[in-house]
Copies of this chain bind each other. A is one copy, B any other.
């Protein structure tokens, strides 16, 4: 794993680059992204700086900045990733992503009554909204540093689509009859588009041909879709000690994801009815924590007895194969290209 100064032992990346030069470049670039990120968010108001420290709670694997940096290296192995614009965009996409996380944590009435236990409890609903707004505003501000409206526009295009994905997901909240097509439409918009754009912008900044930029978009988009599927599988199958996240949170939020969509479509009619009853029961606004947990446990047992988790993993596997294909068809072999292929593979094997 690549370590970044100041981040302690947190594993930042899904990948452990085999090439030492590549590893050092990536670590240096990520460290630079972190400083850009921190510098951009600094305010003259102490109350703002105090709130910004809560952002650390949202920090994850830096998937999106890493996509920018590896695509920069892959599309211009002679030094693309060292260009300042790439690092700026890497910080921008991380800000956009963190804003999404802050706003995803906003609780509704029922959740507040039930007692919210998410990161929002640290700062409250209103501060979480304002913190997200502060991040998104600074993302666009930092983006304008590059001085290219085509890049500003691509960032805005991807946030437009991300918002639509979030809204489509919200419109399907508690829809236990969600079909696979709508599920994929939601994650295409809310996750995959920004991941694709990370890679495409990196290619555009490296000055590649439009065909290569389009191929890199596909790489990021497919990888991002697979990443989301794996996230959704982990939410249903993992335990909190491994992931560090509340397990079953998607169900609590009324989100049906690929393993359960497949399970519902393949079980016998009686089991389907029983599963729908359990999904309804765990999501009832008046449900106690113990009712919720008991229902989720039963749902997890249904899943364990099915082929549905394997089905979701196969879907993710196919997407990763497509992502790798896009890269191999358009980039010449290089250490950076190998890194992109390794990164894609690592999406499938992560357990947190």
> Interface residues, chain A, CB within 8 Å of chain B?
43, 45, 47-48, 51, 99, 103, 106-109, 112-113, 124-127, 129-134, 136-138, 140-141, 143-144, 146-149, 152-153, 155-157, 159-160, 162-164, 166-168, 170-171
Contacting pair B137 A144 (CB below 8 A): no
Q: Contact: A45 with B152, CB < 8 Å?
A: no
**A80 nearest CB across to chain B (Å):** 22
Asked, given contacts A133-B136, A141-B157, A157-B141, whether A47 binds B152 with beta carbons under 8 Å apart, the answer is no
In the complex, what residues of B have CB within 8 A of residue A155's CB?
140
A138–B167 CA distance with the chains assembled, in angstroms: 14
What B residues does A168 contact at CB under 8 A? 45, 47-48
**A301 to B161 CA separation, bound complex (whole angstroms):** 51
Tell me if B163 and A133 are in contact (CB < 8 A).
yes
13 example contacts (A-B, Cβ-Cβ < 8 A) are as follows A47-B167, A47-B170, A99-B133, A106-B126, A107-B126, A108-B125, A126-B170, A127-B170, A133-B166, A134-B163, A137-B162, A137-B163, A149-B149
A48 to B99, CA, bound (A): 20
Residues in B neighbouring A132, C-beta threshold 8 A: 129, 133
A52 to chain B, nearest CB (A): 9
Can you name the residue of chain B whose Cβ is closest to the Cβ of A109? B112
Residue of B nearest to A253 (CB): B126
Q: Which residue of chain B has its CB nearest to the CB of A49?
A: B167
Q: Which residue of B lies closest to A120 (CB)?
A: B109
Q: Are B144 and A160 in contact (CB under 8 A)?
A: no
Q: A156-B144, A164-B43, A167-B47 are in contact. Are A106 and B134 (CB under 8 A)?
A: no
Distance of A149 Cα from B108 Cα, bound (Å): 38
Point out the residues of chain B lying under 8 angstroms from A171, CB to CB: 47
